[in-house]
Amino acid sequence: MKYFFFSWLAVFVGSWIVYVEYSSYTELCRGQDCKNSICDKYRKGVIDGSACSSLCKKDTLYLGKCFTAKPNSQVYSGSWGDLEGVIKCQMEEAPHYDLGSEMEPRKETVAFNKPTKGTSAKVGDQPNLADLATQVLSITDANKDGHISLPEARSTWALLQLNEFLLALVLQDREHTPKLLGFCGDLYVMEKVPYSPLYGINLPWVIEVWIPAGLRRSMDQWFTPSWPHKAKISIGLLELVEDVFHGTFGSFLMCDVSATSFGYNDRHDLKVMDARYIVPEAIFQENMRQKRCDVDEDCLLGADCLTSCDLTKHRCTPEVTRPNLAKSCEALKDYILRGAPSDIREELEKQLYACIALKGSVEQMEIEHSLILNNLKTLLWKKISHTKDS
């Protein structure tokens, strides 16, 4: 009787979890609502963009399967004529995760209004504003008529408030971010990345909830490319760290360096899959100075950007405790050491642990930071440069 009771209880609890998760997922996945909202504003002349006509008039831009649904955004597979892409839609009445004064989700409406005088999309302390303005204007002129309409400007302004879009714009001449294919309002279409996450497998959430964390980490390492391909992908992540540190448009902090944030293409080039937590350092620091705290854990953004709490002022300090490189090396450690050639494994492990041990801001240890990064890239590249996998 006891066995029967616990079996029934397990089935009941499992069924309840499935029901709650499924109902939440279906409630958030509202592709038709997203399309209707965007197209209604397009028809009223509020917004415009390179994807508006295809989405709302020609019906050649299709929202397919919803594979990520969160209160603030939805991600769909999609097709645009002969192109396959990923469509990202921000829902107006949903909370948007941004760098607000308290760095918490806040309920707001996407601003398609004219920006307040003097407002700017701040990237860094010393960005090359002329070049950035040129890039912004080039994508804003969606119909390429040499003029920028108010609806086009409204769409671009709304998109510039999104970290992911801003990073794609800043790094559009690099290979680490998917190409922007088009936009309409704050809906935008990105190039499809064939393989994600960076390692491991995507399991249905119904199965995922029953797998212990330790077993899940082991399973992830079973499903990875060959070691030379992993080395090339790892070099790509190290190059991304270089790109976002003191780049043309300022410095960025990587606040979620996890496998799910990255993927790769058929040539094993690393691609950023989720850039919501790659944030401008200047904005991060400005908001951290204003954030109230009682313990260090109150000064955390994402999974990886932690500062310390100044208990004399009960305010967060602005400097992160670990640089981007240390967090990236920690994410790569198990990935790149598994299956590593015996002749470099010991040296590779030594360099990775030296990298993981980096502390403080990059400005305080810039020479050491650059030396470790270049040594890792050189070690990996020398091992694969003579192979077809490179």
Q: How confident is the model at residue 211 (pLDDT cuts 50, 70, 90)?
A: confident
Shared domain for 34 and 182, answered yes or no, is yes
User: Residue 122: pLDDT band by 50, 70, 90 thresholds?
Assistant: low
Tell me how crowded residue 167 is: count the other CB atoms within 10 A of its CB.
Answer: 23
What CATH number did the domain enclosing 251 receive? 1.10.510
pTM over 0.85: no
Quick one: 268 and 223 in the same domain? yes
In a domain, 13, yes or no: no
Judge whether residue 275 has pLDDT over 90. Answer: no
Could you tell me if residue 220 is inside a domain? yes
Q: What pLDDT score was predicted for residue 317?
A: 95
345 and 274 housed in the same domain: yes
What pLDDT, on a 0 to 100 scale, did the predictor assign at position 90? 79
**pLDDT value at 130 more than 80:** no
In a domain, 59, yes or no: yes
Q: Of the ranges 123-132, 292-301, 366-375, which one carries the lowest mean pLDDT score?
A: 123-132
Q: Let me know whether 233 and 344 are in one domain.
A: yes
| Average pLDDT value for residue range 292-297 | 96
Choose one of 168, 192, 216: the last residue of a domain: 192
Residues 129, 77 share a domain: yes
The strand pairing partners of 89, in sequence order, are: 74
Q: Looking at the domain assignment, is residue 371 inside a domain? A: yes
Residue 180 CA: distances (Å) to CA of 44, 52, 124, 141, 389: 25, 14, 22, 14, 27
In a domain, 162, yes or no: yes
Residues 80 and 45 in one domain: yes
pLDDT of 13 over the 60 cut = no
More confident: 109 or 196 = 196
3-state secondary structure the chain: CHHHHHHHHHHHHHHHHHHHHHHHHHHHCCHHHHHHHHHHHHHCCCCCCCCHHHHHCCCCEEEEEEEEEECCEEEEEEEECCEEEEEEEECCCCEECCCCCCCCCEECCCCCCCCCCCCCCCCCCCCCHHHHHHHHHHHHCCCCCCCCCHHHHHHHHHHHCCHHHHHHHHCCCCCCCCCEEEEECCEEEEECCCECCCCCCCCCHHHHCCCCHHHHHHHHHHCCCCHHHHHHHHHHHHHHHHHHCCECCECEEECCCCHHHEEECCCCCEEECCCCCEEEHHHHHHHHHHCECCCHHHHEECCCEECCEECCCCEECCCCCCCHHHHHHHHHHHHHHCCCCHHHHHHHHHHHHHHHCCCCCHHHHHHHHHHHHHHHHHHHHHHHCCCCCC
Tell me: do 166 and 142 sit in the same domain: yes
Domain that holds residue 375: 205-290+321-385
Q: Examine the domain organization and report whether 209 and 188 are in the same domain.
A: no
Q: Is residue 199 part of a domain?
A: no
For residues 279 and 140, membership in a common domain is answered with no
Other C-beta atoms within 10 Å of 317: how many? 18
Interior CA angle at 377 toward 375 and 381, to 5°? 120
- How many angstroms separate the first and last alpha carbons of the chain? 62
Average pLDDT, the chain: 80
In a domain, 18, yes or no: no
Of the candidates 169, 192, 215, which is a domain's last residue? Answer: 192
Residues 182 and 46 in one domain: yes
Query: Would 364 be classed as within a structural domain?
Result: yes
pLDDT for the residue 100: 38
What is the rounded average pLDDT of the residues 70-84? 82
How many domains does the structure of the chain reveal?
A: 2
- 143 and 252 in one domain? no
Sign of torsion over alpha carbons 41, 42, 47, 53 = positive
Q: Tell me the Cα Rg of the chain.
A: 23
CA distances from 207 to 18, 320, 369 (A): 10, 36, 41
163, 192, 221 - which closes a domain: 192
- Are residues 128 and 167 both part of a single domain? yes
Task: Give the pLDDT of residue 19.
Answer: 36
